[in-house]
Chain A
C-alpha cells in the first residue's frame, strides 16, 4: 500500500493487508498523535488496510504560540 506521511511530506510503500494499529507500530508512531485517512474519511485502529490502499498518516500535534 501507498502511505503518505507529513511534516516532512514523504511517501512509503508498505506491504498489505495490515491493520492500522500494526502499520502505526511498524512505523513507530504513537496512535495518540496521528489520524489515518483513507479516501475522504478516517479509519479506526482495528481497520484492515488492503495492499492496493492509499492512506495518509496525518500528524495532529501542533505546538506554536496561540
Chain B
C-alpha cells in the first residue's frame, strides 16, 4: 500500500478514509485533524492556558504532544488513583514524557491527599470502579484548572470514546447526557472550559501516533475497566465498522450536526438547578455535598 499523500510505502491504513499514510504524512494528518477540531469548534483562543488531563495512556500523551507541537501553552495534570501497579506504571509514563518534552506535569495523589483509592471508593460506595474514578477525575481536573488559573481542561477523548458514549446514551435514551455530549463545554461559574481536541481521530490512530513518535505509553488496560460496558460498546461498534468503514464517524458527527441541539433544553434546565457544594463550594445539582465530597465522606465512614 502506498501513502495517499506522497506515494511512499504506507505504514498505516485507515479504512474510513480509504487511505494509507507513510510515517511523516500520518503524523501531519494527526496534527491537521486536531487543528481542524480545535478550529471547527472554537476550542481554544490565542493565549489560553491549557491543562491536559494526562493518564499515561496513548490518547492523553498523543494529545499533549500534538498541542505542544501546535504551540499551545499546555501543562499536564496526572491524578494518582491508587490502582496498584497500574497507577505506578502509568504515572512513570506520564513523568517520562513530561521530562522528555521539558513540559510541566502537575500531580495530585488521591490516596495521600484525600484518603482513599479508587478500588476502595468503589467498594465503600457500591459504585463500579469506573464510576467512582470518573467522578473523581471530573471534579479534580476542574478544581486543579481553577486553582492553577488555567482557562481550559483538555481531555483525550477520541472518536471511539465519543461514539461509544453516544451509543450507550442512545441505548438508554439518557437525554440529559445527550445534550451535554459536546466537544466543547463552555466555561461557567465554577467550571473551566472543557475541550476534546481528539474527536476527529480514532484510538487506532492515537496509538499509531505514539508508536511512530516513540512515545512510551501504558498499553495494559486498567484492571478495573476490564469487562465494563464501555468496552462492550466499543467492541460492538468495531464489528459494525469492520463491515462498514466510516460508520462510527457518521454516527458521532451526524449526531453533532443533526441531533445534539434537540437535547439542549433539558441540559440547560439541569444547569439552572446548580447550587454551591457545602463542602468545597463547587457547583452541584445536589443539595448539601457535591458528588465528590459525598464520596470522600462515605469512604471516611
Question: How far apart are A44's CB and chain B's nearest CB, in angstroms?
Answer: 5
Q: Which of B233-241, B266-274, B292-300 sits within the interface?
A: B233-241
- Is B1 touching A65 in the complex (CB atoms < 8 A)? no
Chain A interface mostly: loop
Q: Which of chain A's residues has its CB closest to B239's CB?
A: A30
Q: Which of B134, B208, B221, B234 contacts A66 (CB 8 A)?
A: B134
- Is B204 touching A66 in the complex (CB atoms < 8 A)? no
What 1/0 flags go to A29-40 for Cβ under 8 Å of B? 011111101001
What 1/0 flags go to B185-222 for Cβ under 8 Å of A? 00000000000000000111011100110100001111
Q: Would A63 and B134 be within 8 Å (CB), given that A32-B242, A42-B211, A44-B20 are in contact?
A: no
Q: Does A17 contact B (CB under 8 A)?
A: no
- Is A62 touching B238 in the complex (CB atoms < 8 A)? no
Q: Does A45 contact B (CB under 8 A)?
A: yes
- Is A66 touching B161 in the complex (CB atoms < 8 A)? yes
What 1/0 flags go to A2-42 for Cβ under 8 Å of B? 00001100000000000000000000001111110100111
Complex Cα gap A33–B237 (Å) = 10
- Is A58 touching B219 in the complex (CB atoms < 8 A)? yes
- Is B234 touching A63 in the complex (CB atoms < 8 A)? yes
Q: Does B57 contact A (CB under 8 A)?
A: yes
When distances are taken between beta carbons in the complex, the residues of chain B under 8 Å from A66 are: 53, 55, 59-60, 134, 137, 155-157, 161
Q: Does B10 contact A (CB under 8 A)?
A: yes
Q: Which of B43-51, B95-103, B224-232 sits within the interface?
A: B224-232
Q: Would A64 and B224 be within 8 Å (CB), given that A41-B23, A46-B1 are in contact?
A: yes
Complex Cα gap A16–B280 (Å) = 61
Q: Which of chain B's residues has its CB closest to A32's CB?
A: B238
- Is B133 touching A44 in the complex (CB atoms < 8 A)? no
When distances are taken between beta carbons in the complex, the residues of chain A under 8 Å from B117 are: none
A-B contact count (CB 8 A): 106
When distances are taken between beta carbons in the complex, the residues of chain B under 8 Å from A63 are: 130, 164, 221-222, 225, 228, 230-231, 234
Complex Cα gap A42–B21 (Å) = 11
Question: How far apart are A53's CB and chain B's nearest CB, in angstroms?
Answer: 15
When distances are taken between beta carbons in the complex, the residues of chain B under 8 Å from A58 are: 207, 211, 219
Question: How far apart are B9's CB and chain A's nearest CB, in angstroms?
Answer: 8
- Is A45 touching B13 in the complex (CB atoms < 8 A)? yes
- Is B208 touching A42 in the complex (CB atoms < 8 A)? yes
Q: Does B31 contact A (CB under 8 A)?
A: no
When distances are taken between beta carbons in the complex, the residues of chain A under 8 Å from B164 are: 63
- Is B225 touching A62 in the complex (CB atoms < 8 A)? yes
Q: Would A43 and B231 be within 8 Å (CB), given that A7-B220, A62-B221, A66-B53 are in contact?
A: no
When distances are taken between beta carbons in the complex, the residues of chain A under 8 Å from B59 are: 62, 66
When distances are taken between beta carbons in the complex, the residues of chain B under 8 Å from A45 are: 1, 13
- Is B238 touching A37 in the complex (CB atoms < 8 A)? no
18 A-B contacts (beta carbon < 8 Å): A32-B202, A35-B207, A41-B212, A42-B208, A42-B211, A44-B12, A44-B13, A45-B1, A47-B1, A58-B211, A59-B221, A60-B58, A60-B203, A61-B221, A64-B222, A65-B134, A66-B134, A66-B156
- Which residues in A have some Cβ–Cβ distance to B below 8 Å? 6-7, 30-35, 37, 40-47, 58-66
If A42-B208, A62-B225 are given as contacts, then 18 extra A-B residue pairs at C-beta distance below 8 Å, sorted by A number, are A7-B221, A31-B242, A32-B241, A33-B235, A33-B238, A41-B212, A42-B11, A42-B12, A44-B11, A45-B1, A45-B13, A59-B221, A61-B234, A62-B59, A66-B60, A66-B134, A66-B137, A66-B157
